[in-house]
Structure 1
Amino acid sequence: MELTFVDVRPGEPDMTAEVGPLIRTLRPALTADGFAAFAGEAHEQGLVFTAARDNLGRYLAVATHRVLATSRGRTLFVDDLVTALDARRAGVGARLMDELEIRARKAGCERVELDSGVTNHGAHRFHHTCRMAITALHFTRDLS
């Protein structure tokens, strides 16, 4: 399957029509308006929305990511990665991860990192397939 990787910016028609619905399959509590607000604010903070499109122009997967300077070196951090249900197990997600690795190397990063929910076992299998290791636990404190 031929794939093209494109960066989509807030305000572009494909952000609302294609990228938003894909991200919202991963984040179902996020409304369309909530996604638009998040995308605009996060993009201003450096978040990049990279999508994988097939040769028919269908959006099959999307990753949101940013380069961070950390005490452990430069890191490409993946906030979200989602593949359309009908494109899973076709190698699309793995090829998107390969694209992110290429971008990370070009940006002088030492690693690619992401968080994955503790109950998302399918994602965990995918991340292990992509040669990722579990190296930390992520803790949160809700302020509501």
Structure 2
Amino acid sequence: MKPIHVLLAEDNETDVILTREAFASSKLSINLDVVKDGVDLLAFLRREGVHAQAPRPDLILLDLNMPRLSGFEVLEVIKASPDFRRIPVVILTSSAADQDILQSYDLHASCYITKPVDFGSFLKIVASLQDFWFTVVRLPSAEAPAS
């Protein structure tokens, strides 16, 4: 089975560490790449600069509150691009605001998850994400032609 590539867009180092720990306990072969802001995320997807050899992610975990380009701005670019719009984007953020939830879905987020404050709950959410996106869901192959 080929490794699963997850791209985490998160500028909070504590949340990055928690996510790494949660994925490390997975039974699946998951490679987690991390970018700290929206500009870097788009460079990763476009394989620009230091990301020239970046793998195409199978799933993007996107925080809304990032420097340089917000999660909303990045989501809008991803979902407008024929090359990237099929990549599932899970909003994983601290905001529980209805306006943020609505805007995320209006921009075609795959789902919206509010980060829990305790590590045990966070582990459960990451385990649920893994189970759903990599066991239940059938994702398109990266080679599928864009429409």
Higher relative contact order (CA 8 A, sep 6+): 2
Greater share of strand residues, 1 or 2? Answer: 1
Tell whether the structures are fold-level matches, with TM greater than 0.5: no
Structure with greater Cα Rg: 1
